[in-house]
Structure 1
Amino acid sequence: MAAEFEFDVCIIGGAGHVGFPLAVAFATRGLRVCIYDINQGAVDQITAGRAPFLEPGVQAPLEAALADGTLVAGADPGLVSRSEHVVVVVGTPVDQHLSPDPEAVPRALGALLDRLRPGQLVVLRSTVFPGVTRRVEQLVASVHPDLDLAFCPERIAEGHAMTELFSLPQIVAARTARATARASALFGTLTGSIIEMEPEEAELAKLFTNAWRYIKFAAANQYFMIANDLGLDFARIREAMMQDYPRTADLPGAGFAAGPCLFKDTMQLASVTGGAFALGHSAMLVNEGLPDYLVKRMEQRHDLFSQTVGILGMAFKAESDDRRSSLSYRLKRVLAFRAQRVLTTDPYVTDDPELVPLEQVLAEADVLVIGAPHAQYADLVTDLPVVDVWDLRGNGSLT
């Protein structure tokens, strides 16, 4: 670390799902790390030694880093000025018209321009709209021409951060050899595999990755609907397709394709193409339409108008407490119009006051739907009918 800097790394937005595990990971490598985040509640949790959300494997290294002083957290923007490397992790949402906000990252960094100092390396970690890196380069250079800047997109999956940060190759993209070398050295403390790209290549690589996963999930969900409408079990068909046959080894099962990234980044690509990304739009219609499809099928088998439906799991994925963009909530809205009553439960989600205990759902519901495939639902003992598009319980996915 340069002598004039107190910290090796500052993570802007470091209390979130991307920034927090990255901060802890850097601290485990002996770097002195500070988290800057405007969410004072999350900062207070981290300072008290509690992870602000569920992320397996993060608690012990968090406590160790706090104890030995390699990690601090605060809401003071002055932390940025005291750090040699500044990693920017800012959410990049799409609006109600499915349009991305390409100014989200430039706007956030622009508010901190007066905090940047000569000799720093600024790293963009957020998934960005193509061209944003160049936009930020111009913004920073207009005030600090002596700063280095790189785009190093995150590649982790929630729930696997503390293994994947150390095992997956890291993409490093910068315009200059010096910035490339500095970013490679920084992330080389975590992984021995660095992939160098041009910034525009790296921007598309990240968006293509998430859109590819989203499209694969859409294919599986479309297959499920086709099989289901013919009275056949997609889970059984999929198992036969995959058995000892490598060409279909990556075929996902059916289920809600949701969360804060896949849908959003697919829509970012649609915006890049001026609305000509037909494959992405088709995937969106399939995945976002799955809750509606399930309710229509349920109406054919159950008198929903006079029944209570229980949704098991409101997080967007299994063993997670993150309910951002969860399709379980779309399912809840559709059922609220079609059923007499809807009850929801989740063993991990803590920020939804409408959730009720599992025992109440089992006692009062007439039919159950597995919204998030948490492991504890696999062996749930119940005589109630269960809609299980995931085939979590091993009884098939036919609805």
Structure 2
Amino acid sequence: MTVLSPPGAAAALAASPDRPVPGWEGREGGLLAEALVARIAARTARVGVVGLGYAGLPLALRFAECGFPVSGFDIDAEKVAAIAAGRSPVHGIPDGRVAAARIAASADPAGAWACDVLIICVPTPIGRHKEPDLGPVSAALAALLPHLRPGQVLALESTTYPGTTEEYVLPALRAAGLTPGRDAFVLYSPEREDPGNPEGTVGRVPKLLGGATPTCLAVGQALYGPVAGPLVPVSSLQVAELAKLYENVFRAVNIGLVNELKRISHALGLDVHEVIDAAATKPFGFMPFRPGPGLGGHCIPVDPYYLAWKARELGVPSDFVELAGRVNDAMPGYVVSRLRDALDARGRGLRGARLLLVGLAYKPGVPDTRESPAAEILRLLDERGAVLSYHDPLVPRFSLARGGRGALALESQPLAPDLVAAQDAVVVVTPQPGIDFAALRAAARLVVDTRGIYRDAAVQPDGTVFPGSVSPGSVSPGSVSPGSVSPGSVSPDSVSPGSSPSAAWPSGALCPGTPPSGGFSLGTLPFETRGDFPPRAEPAYHRVIQA
């Protein structure tokens, strides 16, 4: 990893095969690239960030805190007004930090002309058919086009498929009459934000950097060197684009694998978390991932489809990537099926059942519901006639689209014991900070745990246990986890009041020689022999099941 200082960048410029030629003069009288590097070194270069969301705002703040004048552009007028007033529109970024940065925020792209650097940080979602939607990138470039000029850097940080910068950014530059590497400088340097991480990532995490030409790369090193973590320059724009996709697809594929392992473990009656913990004791060649209710957010559920789309365009199979996407997409349906089975075992159907979802955001510590599996779980339950409510301290309101039936408008409900006790089931989707999960469990009739919060959760959806037996999944074989039941004892929430452990049969057990069910009943036995065949205890149900 080589980080060039501004003098080093200038030397690299002099050695570049595409060294700027006289013709366009910088404002300070030198060649454009050299003049730009000098302004960067002096912290007089104005940096413009297009898109002031979870990726763009931290980047703009970092440049401002390192002494650069910063402009910010966003089509969201409320976001612009908040920043102008010194308030943060992004959860987890303090207002004081935004106020101190004094970012010149605007919804008018005309101010881009005054910027020496323009960095695009806009969303790259997928369409209805899982195809890349580069509409926000196209719109940002179209808005900037009239305001591009010689001597500017134009960088893209949005996650996208290999070839996007060449297919979208370079043509926009040429449409403005500019030549990459001579008149203006094109970069791709993907964001590596971790929403909800209070420490942030800009300035700490290594930063990938690709340039359209060697001169572009040298200018990019001079630009990002003072503000980023260790720079990782790569040989081309496409290498940087594919590396960023690979980072996220790697995670999506492994989550797909562990979600499939969860379904297999449940079919075997095994606790998937115990299996993972056991495998994780291997000190090499293994990385533990945890299953969940599906993927959510701005990257992990989206990026595999960007890679698969590009692979199809190239005529290359991407079966593994697409399969992982299908597995992860199916997890909300699996959660609903586990919930249905648990309710069925307790004599309750989904239709008309009162259900409370806990956590609607896609991950803990954020209010972002984009691609959240909770939305799909809500949709599936709504289609089946359940009576729905939710609790999420960071998502005060949520609207669920229901096609021709109109939207279902919901508001977060306080997690009061009376509310919890009134539900037929509580589904834990996202464990937001501050939720008292012990109190939740104590008040609930049934908890469906999709995240492994309760390590003694039952594996089987009926959750049945009988007095004198240990609930499935309550203790690891041969050991007792802190706070769990002791070997041979009964899980505290699994016994029917008044039952007698000494007068019960284990689940499914029959006395030797007993005919199948229906062969005899206690009523057919002489009274004096009935004591030899004590009545089977009524089953109790474990209060928590895995899903």
TM-score, normalised by the number of residues in structure 2: 0.68
Aligned match of 1:139: 172
Q: Deviations over 1:220-250 (max 9, x none)?
A: 1111111112221111221222136343333
Aligned match of 2:292: 254
8 Å Cα contact 1:210/1:261 also seen in 2: yes
Whether 2:262 is the aligned partner of 1:224: answer yes
Aligned match of 2:13: none
Question: Could you tell me how far apart the structure 2 residues matched to 1:60 and 1:43 are?
Answer: 16
Aligned match of 2:434: 376
Aligned match of 2:487: none
* Code of the aligned partner of 1:377: I
Question: Could you tell me how far apart the structure 1 residues matched to 2:322 and 2:436 are?
Answer: 33
Question: Could you tell me how far apart the structure 2 residues matched to 1:110 and 1:75 are?
Answer: 14
Bigger Rg, structure 1 or 2: 2
Aligned match of 1:168: 205
Aligned match of 1:94: 126
Aligned match of 1:61: 97
8 Å Cα contact 1:28/1:61 also seen in 2: no
Question: Could you tell me how far apart the structure 2 residues matched to 1:357 and 1:363 are?
Answer: 13
User: Aligned match of 2:63 in 5, 26, 30?
Assistant: 26
Question: Displacement of 1:121 after TM fit?
Answer: 0.6
TM-score, normalised by the number of residues in structure 1: 0.91
Q: Deviations over 1:237-285 (max 9, x none)?
A: 2122213634333333434321121121100111111183211221111
* Code of the aligned partner of 2:415: E
Unaligned ranges ≥5, structure 1: none
Question: Could you tell me how far apart the structure 1 residues matched to 2:218 and 2:198 are?
Answer: 24
Question: Displacement of 1:388 after TM fit?
Answer: 1.0
1:201-280 pair list within 5 angstroms: 201-243=239-281, 245-274=283-312, 276-280=317-321
Distance of aligned partners of 1:195 and 1:6 in 2 relative to their CA distance in 1, 3 Å threshold: closer
Distance of aligned partners of 1:350 and 1:298 in 2 relative to their CA distance in 1, 3 Å threshold: closer
8 Å Cα contact 2:86/2:96 also seen in 1: no
Q: Deviations over 1:70-122 (max 9, x none)?
A: x2211121221111110011222211111113464244213321111211111
1:384-395 pair list within 5 angstroms: 384=444, 385-395=446-456
Question: Could you tell me how far apart the structure 2 residues matched to 1:138 and 1:225 are?
Answer: 48
Aligned match of 1:315: 361
Distance of aligned partners of 1:246 and 1:339 in 2 relative to their CA distance in 1, 3 Å threshold: farther
Distance of aligned partners of 1:130 and 1:192 in 2 relative to their CA distance in 1, 3 Å threshold: closer
Question: Could you tell me how far apart the structure 2 residues matched to 1:204 and 1:129 are?
Answer: 7
* Code of the aligned partner of 2:286: T
Range moving further from structure 2, 147-156 or 342-351: 342-351
8 Å Cα contact 1:6/1:82 also seen in 2: no
Aligned identity (percent) is: 28
Whether 2:401 is the aligned partner of 1:365: answer no
User: Aligned match of 1:346 in 373, 380, 392?
Assistant: 392
1:37-186 pair list within 5 angstroms: 37-55=74-92, 57-66=93-102, 71-102=103-134, 104-135=136-167, 136-143=169-176, 144-145=178-179, 146-160=183-197, 162-186=199-223
* Code of the aligned partner of 1:375: P
- SS of the residue aligned with 2:80? helix
Question: Could you tell me how far apart the structure 2 residues matched to 1:106 and 1:339 are?
Answer: 41
Question: Could you tell me how far apart the structure 2 residues matched to 1:159 and 1:311 are?
Answer: 21
Question: Could you tell me how far apart the structure 1 residues matched to 2:308 and 2:353 are?
Answer: 40
Q: Deviations over 1:360-395 (max 9, x none)?
A: 642532210111121333534133121112112333
8 Å Cα contact 1:343/1:365 also seen in 2: no
Distance of aligned partners of 1:7 and 1:82 in 2 relative to their CA distance in 1, 3 Å threshold: farther
Q: Deviations over 1:304-327 (max 9, x none)?
A: 224211100100111110011111
Aligned match of 2:379: 333
The RMSD of aligned alpha carbons is 2.2
Structure with more of its chain in helix, by fraction = 1
Question: Displacement of 1:174 after TM fit?
Answer: 0.6
8 Å Cα contact 1:106/1:139 also seen in 2: no
Whether 2:318 is the aligned partner of 1:286: answer no
- SS of the residue aligned with 2:221? helix
Distance of aligned partners of 1:114 and 1:397 in 2 relative to their CA distance in 1, 3 Å threshold: farther
* Code of the aligned partner of 1:199: L
Question: Could you tell me how far apart the structure 2 residues matched to 1:163 and 1:267 are?
Answer: 27
Question: Could you tell me how far apart the structure 2 residues matched to 1:324 and 1:133 are?
Answer: 25
Question: Displacement of 1:192 after TM fit?
Answer: 4.5
- SS of the residue aligned with 1:375? coil
- SS of the residue aligned with 1:92? coil
Distance of aligned partners of 1:85 and 1:42 in 2 relative to their CA distance in 1, 3 Å threshold: same
- SS of the residue aligned with 1:377? coil
Question: Could you tell me how far apart the structure 2 residues matched to 1:114 and 1:397 are?
Answer: 62
* Code of the aligned partner of 1:226: I
- SS of the residue aligned with 2:195? coil
Range moving further from structure 2, 204-213 or 93-102: 93-102
- Kindly tell me the number of residue pairs found equivalent between the two proteins: 392
Range moving further from structure 2, 37-46 or 93-102: 93-102
